[in-house]
Amino acid sequence: MLLTLDINTDYRVANFICDELDAENSEQFAREIETHLLPGMHIIFDMKNLRFIDSSGLGVLLTCKRKLQDAGGIMKLCCLSVTVREILELVRLVRVFEIYDSREAAIQSIPDSLN
Amino acid sequence: MNILLIDDDRDIRLLLKMLLSNYGHAVSECDNAPGALEICQLESFPLMVLDWELGEIDGIQLCRQLRALPHGDESVILMFTGRNSPEEIQMILEAGANDYMQKPADIKWLKIRLQIAIRQAENQMARKQAERQLAIARTKEVEIGSKIQQNLLLGKPPLRYHGIEIAARSIASRKVDGDFYDFYPHDDACFDLVIGDVMGKGIPAALLGAAIKSRILQAMNELKSQTRGLPPDLSRILSYVDAEVTPQLIELGTFVTLVFVRFYLEKKQIGMINCGHPRTIHFRNSEKKSVVIPGDNLPLGVLANGAYSVQTFSYGAGDLIFFYSDGITEARNAQRVFFGEERVVSFVHEKNRLPLGEFIDGLCQTVEKFSGTDALNDDRTCVAVKIMDSGNSSCSDVLELDGQRGSLARIREFVKEFCAAMIGETGDLQPVNRIVLAVNEAASNVIRHAYKDHPGGPLRICVSHQDRRIEFLIEHRGQPFQPPVLETERFREPRESGMGLYIIDEIMDEVEYLVRGDGWNTIRMVYDLRLK
């Protein structure tokens, strides 16, 4: 298992347990998160344990974002390590994702009716 | 053929149309100059018959305007007029008409003159068609020549000689010429290189260059069987080639200049035979001096059974040895002054510390700027060999494992350990993460794509560093691939795939995808700490 989920009614926080997301485990990650990509859902990925992500992992994150958006949901990232943030900056994805320094800030950004 | 009649007299047009139609030609008519000009801008007519008196714009003016159209010189124009003074006939010719017929005309003479004009137009059409086919054939020749050049004339520098960096470039002139170069690795401590130039231009010169290269390889293989696999003497190789090709070169009336060089890496020595090629330039780092190594052998094809003398000289850390073709030194500026050897020596002396690719590009740009044009009269070919500084001693390591996804973590760990150890405690470790990511992406591509049909094939990660340049060779036996040309623009939009190649290209300073002939394929990447 790569993730644990904190489930609220209208938002979920997905906590990475693994410290690396690459071509070996990105497909498993995609399977684990798929069931939570529900219409209108807000998902926050807490990435504090993640030390490395490659293009396979980034591709799955982008797919999640697209699917959620298509279903009227929103995806946020929080607690990025320096390394992971640098990787996102390298491939110009920092402005594609909503990124927060802390889990609390990400939760607070959710509209009050849902929080 | 299509024929256009331009005459304001309807009866004349009817008569001419009847006569020309009887010969089987399609005839169009017009009674005024503006209308005729408009028709001719849409359609071409191999033969046009004009009247002089056409109204505001007469036949003389119309003729000039027709000649000024694109392809206006391809038609035969016959002026049909009652004017017959020598001055008027002169005006007709000066306006660009091919011939004239006088009005009124006896019908028999009219038929004869029309037939002559038709024959003239048919000959003109045939000539233009032949010219077009010749132009197509010439373009095709250049395309073929370019392919010959890339595939047969230009070898790939060897990769795995520690302490040595090699760059080679040939910029073809508009027509393909006979410049060639190639590399012949013998073992880990010895390789040969040859750079040559066949006199003449075009495919014949290119084919001769390919033949010379092939003969050199043949000579090496043949003589190696006599030396139990040891590299044969340079002079023996060249004498063998000379015996094979010089009689043919003499018969063809051509010759080949070349430099044939052997690098002895353990002894740090070079053996060289220069056969009439531009002199080699050697920057000696220990003396901070650039010297020109003269050559005293004749080109191949000048004298049969030539004897070849070998020059030997030593090299040291930080040296640059530069070979080039006369397309560099014989480039001329608008004042007809040659670029010359002295300028090449100055460039080598001033710019030898540049990365080799930039060094060669810089020289080619300098020559282009000097000549004031990017059009080349001759190929410009360079081979540069850099002896790495011994500032940081080279070291290397190899990781061999199965090409499967589970291997990626081990690969990252291996690269991280090597780079962290190399950079050392006082160094900046930030590049390590970027390097790990790039190597991970390359290995991931091999695992997912090259080994897609047979996962778990062998994977070898070789890493070495010299003079703060870290080189990675990712070797595999899967499907080779050439990455598409990256479009940086597309990463302004989020993409779910294709990021791996972009990441590699962004992080690494040099990336090459190489197909070797022995079943192994290599991704070569270099991270140059000197550039950061």
pLDDT tens-digit readout, A64-103: 999 988 888 899 999 999 999 999 998 888 888 999 999 9
pLDDT higher than 60, residue A113: no
Pair A41, A76: CB distance under 8 Å: no
Interface test with A, best of B411, B413, B432, B437 (most A CBs within 10 A): B437
In degrees rounded to 5, what are phi and psi of residue B42?
A: -100, -25
Q: What is the pLDDT of residue B408?
A: 94
Strand B280-284 and strand B289-293: pairing?
Answer: antiparallel
Strand B469-476 and strand B521-528: pairing?
Answer: antiparallel
Q: What is the pLDDT of residue B518?
A: 62
CB contact under 8 A, B497 and A96: no
- Residue B405, C-beta contacts closer than 8 angstroms, at least 6 positions apart: A22, A23, A24, B444, B447, B448
Q: What is the token pair recorded at B215?
A: 């003969």
Strand A11-16 and strand A3-7: pairing?
Answer: antiparallel
Pair B276, B257: CB distance under 8 Å: yes
CA distance A113 to chain B (A): 30
- Residue B228, C-beta contacts closer than 8 angstroms, at least 6 positions apart: none
Interface test with B, best of A90, A94, A97 (most B CBs within 10 A): A90
CA distance B528 to chain A (A): 18
CB contact under 8 A, B494 and A55: no
CA distance A92 to chain B (A): 7
N-terminal to C-terminal alpha carbon distance within chain B: 70
- CA–CA dist A57, B304 (Å, integer): 66
CA distance B404 to chain A (A): 8
CB contact under 8 A, A54 and B500: yes
Pair B292, B281: CB distance under 8 Å: yes
Q: What long-range pairs does B39-44 form, CB within 8 A, spacing at least 24?
A: B39/B4, B40/B4, B40/B66, B40/B69, B41/B69, B43/B2, B44/B2, B44/B71, B44/B74, B44/B75
Helices B340-351 and B356-371 meet at what angle, rounded to 10? 140
CB contact under 8 A, B408 and A24: yes
Pair B254, B309: CB distance under 8 Å: no
Give the chain B residue nearest A89 (alpha carbons): B503
ipTM of this complex prediction, to 2 decimal places: 0.91
- CA–CA dist B379, B177 (Å, integer): 6
Q: What is the token pair recorded at B232?
A: 């044969």
Q: What is the pLDDT of residue B485?
A: 55
Q: How many CB pairs under 8 A join A and B?
A: 58
Residues of chain B with pLDDT under 50: 391-393, 487-494
Pair B479, B455: CB distance under 8 Å: no
Q: What is the token pair recorded at B398?
A: 């190899």
Pair B315, B268: CB distance under 8 Å: yes
Cβ neighbours around B407 below 10 Å, total? 20
CA distance B466 to chain A (A): 27
Pair B300, B343: CB distance under 8 Å: no
- CA–CA dist B329, B372 (Å, integer): 15
N-terminal to C-terminal alpha carbon distance within chain A: 27
- Residue B151, C-beta contacts closer than 8 angstroms, at least 6 positions apart: none
Pair B507, B501: CB distance under 8 Å: no
Average pLDDT, integer, range A38-49: 90
Q: In this structure, what DSSP letter does residue B91 have?
A: H
- Residue B51, C-beta contacts closer than 8 angstroms, at least 6 positions apart: B6, B7, B8, B9, B12, B59, B79, B80, B81
CB contact under 8 A, B444 and A91: no
- Give the pLDDT confidence of B313-369 residue by residue, as tens digits: 999 988 999 999 999 999 998 898 999 999 999 999 999 988 888 899 899 999 999
CA distance B515 to chain A (A): 25
- CA–CA dist B462, B473 (Å, integer): 5
Pair B144, B203: CB distance under 8 Å: yes
CA B20 to chain centre: 52
Chain A CB contacts of B491 below 8 Å: 91-92
Give the chain B residue nearest A83 (alpha carbons): B433
Chain A CB contacts of B456 below 8 Å: none
Enclosing H/E stretch for A94: none
CB contact under 8 A, A62 and B440: no
CA A60 to chain centre: 10
Chain B CB contacts of A52 below 8 Å: 412, 436-437
Q: What burial letters (b/e) apply to A32-47, b meaning 16+ CB within 10 Å? A: bbeebbeeebbbbbbb
CA dihedral B470, B475, B481, B485 (to 10 degrees): 0
- CA–CA dist A29, A46 (Å, integer): 14
Residues in chain A: 115
CB contact under 8 A, A90 and B507: yes
Pair B316, B268: CB distance under 8 Å: yes
Taking the CA atoms of chain B, what radius of gyration do you get in angstroms?
34
- Name the least confident of A14-23, A48-57, B328-337, B481-490: B481-490
Chain A CB contacts of B448 below 8 Å: 23
CA distance B498 to chain A (A): 8
Q: What is the pLDDT of residue A91?
A: 87
Q: Quick check: B336 contacting A, CB < 8 Å? A: no
- CA–CA dist B240, B224 (Å, integer): 12
Q: List the single residue in B409, B433, B503 with the smallest CB-CB distance to A55.
A: B503
Biggest CA–CA distance in chain B, Å, is: 107
Strand B256-264 and strand B190-201: pairing?
Answer: antiparallel
Q: List the single residue in B444, B492, B506 with the smallest CB-CB distance to A90.
A: B506
Chain B CB contacts of A92 below 8 Å: 491-492
Interface test with A, best of B410, B412, B433 (most A CBs within 10 A): B433
Q: What is the pLDDT of residue B353?
A: 84
